[in-house]
């Protein structure tokens, strides 16, 4: 990582720009600059798919068009995130060196085509990428207009070629040392699948082994490590050619194939591409869901992140590509900033004329003017970001955290049982997230490897797999006074998916004061109820419905606060609480409805005196509150994702930075307020 990076000192605004599609239209390139300036755009991502334009034949480079563009952009106050073009290799390379092409799990090698489909191991591809990246860095790595490196594009997928298989075996040798150790950890005695030698191991395949769960899990870990290794190789080439500009790579929404936390130390800042399906359900729900993903991205480094792509209009790839209603673009863009982004960027600046993305929304559409509805909103959002300039580099401080862990997701979804049709992992995590946010808190969404030290309250939903040492972290969290919410189906297996013996949640039965005994899975549409125990200390009096899972626990010394209402386990605990050390450990036995989480968390947070962002302020439904802080100032964002205007009653001392009216917030309106702390 380059040591120096903290922030660019202003909010960045712009998007992916593909001038190589327009080189024979100089008038269009000129118009692009004028329109970008009018929209307050100050950064573009350049060169993402430009390899064949930069090296049309092997060894013959043509960087002149790019140089001309970077210079012109710079002269006009527009900086560049310069991409390494590995996301899409030129045709000549695939023809001459077929090993750069990816092989699928059935052993079939791909032909040239599409993008994001190279082998991460191929020495030829690595060499070609190194050469290209070094050329780019030598030529542009110190250009004042180039402010950062955009490494490749949306890394993803996997390669099963012989070179990657050999790498997988070395990775396993390093991890397990001996084949006996691997056999034990993978439980290969089952169905008599023991290996005699590492050379026999192959990645999972529908033609071979696909149900050795620990093999599947290690393969996914390996794919992440391979990808990070490839990315580091790309960055190293830039460094070796003398560029120390910060580097990032753009990540994707809930992309299952890579554990993004493993990228944390290898990039200088985290960035991601956000394409919510707006207007399908209530915008308030889509906003919560998107907010959680912004928080996942911010929590990877616990630093400002960058919104690298989003769509200014309608996408072309969602099953129904709706346009954004007036005001939504501005609200969605500012939401990223509210959650800790230092940029808003779009795909794309100018809409392509042909091929598969010709109908994908853009800042400048095929008509090409500045008098479109979308352009007007883009310009407005750019003006907003100029007003929020001082927020650049400010951080989000959260008292509440929530565990969302990729490896846990991999293990749980592959586990076979107790419900193979849907576990609702993401939805369950979201229920805790929504409850914290409705209680007016910032939330970090972290994985099991991250520290718990900054938090007072922690939700641990469906953490089926405990990665090494996780139970110890939870124990000390509660011991030192933390409030823990754990749900059913937690602490069941270790990190090679071997079931813990001697009871679960592993290592925490004394902390929780109970033991999980059976997990009843419910058919779709089947429900049970949680009924409050009379005079429960939370003072809750209504019943709530639950579905999908009902954990049947044996309580040792936890207090039941709710019990099941129906079935043969009516009367058995549905929510328990146990005091341990200086803290409290709650266990939520079933997949409860959202309002249960809202009410239970709300009461507990109140009793624990966890201060919300705006203490004493009752916010109307659908209004999101978040905050960022610098050394001198706390910035508070209020955003109304509802369809109706709402009334607000806010403390006098908060001064508006964006949006003047402190008494009313229109639909899709944003109000940013500040309070000086020094
Ligand atoms: C991704 C890619 C872009 C573009 C957009 C379209 O995010 O990175 O190149 O294809 O999707 O939404
Ligand atoms: Zn390969």
Band (660; pLDDT cuts 50, 70, 90): confident
Full 3-state SS string of 577-638: EEEECCEEEEEECEEECHHHHHHHHHHHHHHCCCCCCCCCCCCCCCEEEEEEECCCEEEEEE
Full 3-state SS string of 631-661: CCEEEEEEEECCCCCEECCCCCCCEEEECCC
Q: What is the pTM of this model?
A: 0.98
Q: H helices then E strands: how many in the chain?
A: 16, 26
Vertex 91: Cα angle to 87 and 93 (nearest 5): 85
Q: Which two tokens stand for residue 484?
A: 């823990």
Cα–Cα distance for residue pair 604/589, rounded to 1 Å? 17
Cα–Cα distance for residue pair 348/45, rounded to 1 Å? 9
Q: Which two tokens stand for residue 212?
A: 């050795």
pLDDT at 4: 60
The answer to whether 676 and 632 have CB atoms below 8 angstroms apart is yes
Ligand 1 contacts CB of residue 273 (under 6 A): yes
Cα–Cα distance for residue pair 400/379, rounded to 1 Å? 36
Task: Indicate whether 123 pLDDT > 80.
Answer: yes
Q: Which two tokens stand for residue 562?
A: 């709710």
* Length reported for the chain: 678
Task: For residue 378, say if its preceding peptide bond is cis, omega within 30 degrees of 0.
Answer: no
Place of tokens 């705006």: 614
Looking at the CA of residue 48, tell me the nearest atom of ligand 1: 9
Sorted by sequence, the CB contacts under 8 Å of residue 202 that are 6+ apart come out as 165, 168, 208, 209
* pLDDT digit string, tens, across residues 345-369: 999 999 999 999 999 999 999 999 9
Cα–Cα distance for residue pair 518/478, rounded to 1 Å? 25
* pLDDT digit string, tens, across residues 577-635: 999 999 999 999 999 999 999 999 999 999 999 999 999 999 999 999 999 999 999 99
* pLDDT digit string, tens, across residues 133-187: 999 999 999 999 999 999 999 999 999 999 999 999 999 999 999 999 999 999 9
The answer to whether 261 and 447 have CB atoms below 8 angstroms apart is yes
Ligand 1 contacts CB of residue 230 (under 6 A): no
Taking alpha carbons only, the member of 180, 154, 182, 151 closest to residue 168 is: 182
Alpha carbons within 13 A on the beta-carbon side of 471: 19
Of the residues 55, 158, 283, 309, only one is catalytic, namely 309
From residue 324, alpha-carbon distances to 9, 207, 327, 490, 525 in Å are 30, 45, 8, 40, 33
Task: Indicate whether 678 pLDDT > 80.
Answer: no
pLDDT at 540: 98
Among all ligands shown, which has an atom nearest to the Cα of 167? Answer: 2
pLDDT at 423: 97
The answer to whether 540 and 599 have CB atoms below 8 angstroms apart is yes
Tell me the residue ranges of DSSP E strands in 69-193: 79-83, 146-150
Vertex 229: Cα angle to 228 and 230 (nearest 5): 90
Task: Indicate whether 1 pLDDT > 60.
Answer: no
Cα–Cα distance for residue pair 214/229, rounded to 1 Å? 22
pLDDT at 2: 57
- In the annotation, is 3 catalytic? no
* pLDDT digit string, tens, across residues 386-442: 999 999 999 999 999 999 999 999 999 999 999 999 999 999 999 999 999 999 999
Ligand 1 contacts CB of residue 315 (under 6 A): yes
Question: Phi, psi at residue 504, to the nearest 5°?
Answer: -140, 165
Taking alpha carbons only, the member of 500, 496, 507, 499 closest to residue 181 is: 496
Looking at the CA of residue 273, tell me the nearest atom of ligand 1: 7
Task: Indicate whether 204 pLDDT > 90.
Answer: yes
Among all ligands shown, which has an atom nearest to the Cα of 98? Answer: 2
Cα–Cα distance for residue pair 412/414, rounded to 1 Å? 5
Pairing of strands 544-555, 400-403: unpaired
Taking alpha carbons only, the member of 49, 141, 620, 613 closest to residue 339 is: 613
Reduced to 3 states, what is the DSSP secondary structure of residue 219? helix
Band (653; pLDDT cuts 50, 70, 90): very high
Cα–Cα distance for residue pair 220/225, rounded to 1 Å? 9
Q: How far is the CA of 347 from the centre of ligand 1 (A)?
A: 7
Place of tokens 């090409």: 368
Cα–Cα distance for residue pair 13/676, rounded to 1 Å? 26
Q: What is the largest distance, in Å, between two alpha-carbon atoms of the chain?
A: 80
Tell me the residue ranges of DSSP E strands in 212-286: 247-248, 250-252, 271-274
Q: How far is the CA of 246 from the centre of ligand 1 (A)?
A: 22
Taking alpha carbons only, the member of 569, 533, 532, 579 closest to residue 549 is: 569
Ligand 1 contacts CB of residue 345 (under 6 A): no
Residue 2, Cβ density class (10 Å: 0-12 exposed, 13-18 middle, ≥19 buried): middle
* pLDDT digit string, tens, across residues 263-281: 999 999 999 999 999 999 9
Ligand 1 contacts CB of residue 309 (under 6 A): yes
* pLDDT digit string, tens, across residues 71-85: 999 999 999 999 999
pLDDT at 563: 98
Taking alpha carbons only, the member of 460, 451, 466 closest to residue 407 is: 466
Residue 110, Cβ density class (10 Å: 0-12 exposed, 13-18 middle, ≥19 buried): middle
* pLDDT digit string, tens, across residues 85-112: 999 999 999 999 999 999 999 999 999 9
The answer to whether 26 and 68 have CB atoms below 8 angstroms apart is no
The answer to whether 163 and 122 have CB atoms below 8 angstroms apart is yes
Looking at the CA of residue 309, tell me the nearest atom of ligand 1: 7
Ligand 1 contacts CB of residue 347 (under 6 A): yes
Measured N-to-C along each axis, helices 26-38 and 64-75 cross at an angle, to the nearest 10 degrees, of: 30
- In the annotation, is 606 catalytic? no
Ligand 1 contacts CB of residue 251 (under 6 A): no
Sign of CA dihedral 177, 181, 183, 186: negative
Taking alpha carbons only, the member of 552, 450, 558, 551 closest to residue 508 is: 558
Of the residues 55, 154, 283, 624, only one is catalytic, namely 154
Cα–Cα distance for residue pair 301/210, rounded to 1 Å? 34
Mean pLDDT of the 180-201 span:
98
Mean pLDDT of the 291-295 span:
98
DSSP category for residue 482? -
Mean pLDDT of the 237-259 span:
97
More confident residue, 678 or 320: 320
Cα–Cα distance for residue pair 667/283, rounded to 1 Å? 10
The answer to whether 328 and 668 have CB atoms below 8 angstroms apart is yes
Band (6; pLDDT cuts 50, 70, 90): confident
* pLDDT digit string, tens, across residues 544-581: 999 999 999 999 999 999 999 999 999 999 999 999 99
Cα–Cα distance for residue pair 598/572, rounded to 1 Å? 22
């Amino acid at each position: 990582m380059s040591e120096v990076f903290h922030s660019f000192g202003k909010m960045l605004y712009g998007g992916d720009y593909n001038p190589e599609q327009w080189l024979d239209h100089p008038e269009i390139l000129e118009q692009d600059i004028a329109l970008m300036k009018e929209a307050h755009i100050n950064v573009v991502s350049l060169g993402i798919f430009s390899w064949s334009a930069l090296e049309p034949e092997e060894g013959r480079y043509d960087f002149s068009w790019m140089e001309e563009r970077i210079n012109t952009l710079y002269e006009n106050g527009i900086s560049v995130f310069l991409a390494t073009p590995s996301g899409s290799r030129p045709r000549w390379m695939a023809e001459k060196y077929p090993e750069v092409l990816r092989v699928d799990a059935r052993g079939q090698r791909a032909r040239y085509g599409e993008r994001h489909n190279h082998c991460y191991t191929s020495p030829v591809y690595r060499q070609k990428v190194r050469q290209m990246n070094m050329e780019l860095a030598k030529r542009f790595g110190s250009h004042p207009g180039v402010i950062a490196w955009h490494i490749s594009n949306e890394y993803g997928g996997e390669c099963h070629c012989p070179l990657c298989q050999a790498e997988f075996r070395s990775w396993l040798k390093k991890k397990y040392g001996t084949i006996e150790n691997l056999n034990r950890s993978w439980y290969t005695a089952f169905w008599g699948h023991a290996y005699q030698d590492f050379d026999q191991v192959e990645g999972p395949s529908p033609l071979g082994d696909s149900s050795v769960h620990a093999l599947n899990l290690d393969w996914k870990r390996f794919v992440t490590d391979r990808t990070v290794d490839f990315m580091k190789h790309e960055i190293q080439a830039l460094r070796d050619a003398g560029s120390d500009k910060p580097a990032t790579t753009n990540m994707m929404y809930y992309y299952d194939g890579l554990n993004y936390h493993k990228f944390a130390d290898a990039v200088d800042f985290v960035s991601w591409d956000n394409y919510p399906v707006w207007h399908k359900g209530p915008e308030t729900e889509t906003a919560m869901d998107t907010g959680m993903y912004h928080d996942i991205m911010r929590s990877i480094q616990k630093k400002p992140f960058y919104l690298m792509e989003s769509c200014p209009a309608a996408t072309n790839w969602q099953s129904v590509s709706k346009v954004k209603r007036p005001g939504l673009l501005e609200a969605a863009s500012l939401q990223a900033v509210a959650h800790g982004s230092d940029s808003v960027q779009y795909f794309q600046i100018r809409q392509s004329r042909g091929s598969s993305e010709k109908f994908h929304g853009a800042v400048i559409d095929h008509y090409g003017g500045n008098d479109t509805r979308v352009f007007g909103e883009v310009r407005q959002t750019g003006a907003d970001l100029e007003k929020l300039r001082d927020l650049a580099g400010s951080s989000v401080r959260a008292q509440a955290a929530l565990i969302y862990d990729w490896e846990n997701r991999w293990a749980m979804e592959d586990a076979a049982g107790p419900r193979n049709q849907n576990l609702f992992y993401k939805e369950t995590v979201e229920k805790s997230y929504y409850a914290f946010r409705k209680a007016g808190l910032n939330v970090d969404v972290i994985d099991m490897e991250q520290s718990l030290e900054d938090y007072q309250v922690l939700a641990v939903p469906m953490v089926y797999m405990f990665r090494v040492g996780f139970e110890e972290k939870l124990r000390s969290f509660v011991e030192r006074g933390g409030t823990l919410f754990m749900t059913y189906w937690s602490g069941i297996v270790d990190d090679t998916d071997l079931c813990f013996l001697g009871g679960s949640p592993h290592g925490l039965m004394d902390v929780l004061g109970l033991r999980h005994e059976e997990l009843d899975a419910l058919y779709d549409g089947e429900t049970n109820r949680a009924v409050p125990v009379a005079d429960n200390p939370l003072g809750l009096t209504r019943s709530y419905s639950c579905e999908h899972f009902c954990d049947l626990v044996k309580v040792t010394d936890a207090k039941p606060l709710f019990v099941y209402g129906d079935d043969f386990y009516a009367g058995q605990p549905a929510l328990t609480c146990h005091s341990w050390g200086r803290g409290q450990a709650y266990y939520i036995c079933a997949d409860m409805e959202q309002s249960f989480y809202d009410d239970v968390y709300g009461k507990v947070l109140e009793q624990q005196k966890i201060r919300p962002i705006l203490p004493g302020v009752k916010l109307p439904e659908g209004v999101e509150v978040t905050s960022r802080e610098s050394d001198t100032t706390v910035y508070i964002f209020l955003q109304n994702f509802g369809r109706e205007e709402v009334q607000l009653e806010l403390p006098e001392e908060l001064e508006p930075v964006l949006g003047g009216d402190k008494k009313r917030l229109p639909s899709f309106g944003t109000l940013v307020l500040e309070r000086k702390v020094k």
